[in-house]
Structure formats: structure tokens, C-alpha cells
Amino acid sequence: MSVRDALRSAPMVNDVPGLRLLKVGDGWDVVRTSAEIGLLALAYLRGTGTSVGPVLYDRPNRRLYYAVPTGSAASWNGLPVRHLSTNSWLVAPGLELLDDWFGGWCELPDDDTLTDVDALRAALQHPYVAAAKDEAHADAYL
């Protein structure tokens, strides 16, 4: 099931208009990273012309979620990400617009496109993305 189809059939979160509860692991998984690192990786992917699947920005928690093909859990070892799959849930806005408080879709789930695992891994390992990760890590100790 595509992310778009999942959004259409997902239940609302506590009857909050616009927010849906998506079941992860049914045709697609999610890779979660900090917004700082994830936005740099997204800029890299866009700059290289890579097809990017749905990307969700969670503003309150400062995280980005990339929809990727299922079965890629081993691909993320050593990277500042968390792989979410079966038995995971994601709160996401529907395709309707939300206010600036929640965040929203950086890349809309318009079709069945998912972000390529190798391309995302390369983006997350790119020197300027890695430098941002190292800087954020160093700032945590100040």
C-alpha cells in the first residue's frame, strides 16, 4: 500500500482534524532522523536530481521521516537514524493543509515513489551532512 493510500484510509488521531495515524511496514518503512541532518540530506538529494518519496517534517519534535522500501533495516547501521517498520505507527497530516505548528510534508505522497535506500544513505554520509551531525553532537557537550 502506498503512503498516499495509507493516508486515505488511516484513522484520525483523537479526532484531530487533519492528523492521521499511519501503520508503518505495510509496503513501506520509515527512516527517522533529526530535522537538521534530514533537511541537509533532502537538499542533497534534490540537488542531485534523485527521486524522493514522501518526507514528513515533525516540527515539534524536530525530526524528518523518509518513506523507504521495506526490508532496509541493516542499511542504517552507524548512521544517526532510526528505522521504523512493522509494529510502528506514525502521526502524519493528511494531504490537506495544516498550520505551521505541526510541520507537514516536505515531499508529498503523490504516487508510489519511495526514497532509494542507497541514495539516502549516501546523502546522510555526505561530508556537509556529516559535519552538521558532528557539530550538533559537539554542541550537546557545551
Q: What sign has the CA pseudo-torsion 86, 21, 90, 70?
A: positive
**The whole model's pTM is what?**
0.86
Q: What sign has the CA pseudo-torsion 18, 21, 25, 29?
A: positive
Distance of CA 21 to the CA centre of its chain: 15
User: pLDDT tens-digit profile of 33-69?
Assistant: 999 999 999 999 999 999 999 999 998 899 999 999 9
Higher pLDDT, 8 or 69: 69
Alpha helices in 3-51 (DSSP H): 3-9, 35-47
The cell for 15 is: 479526532
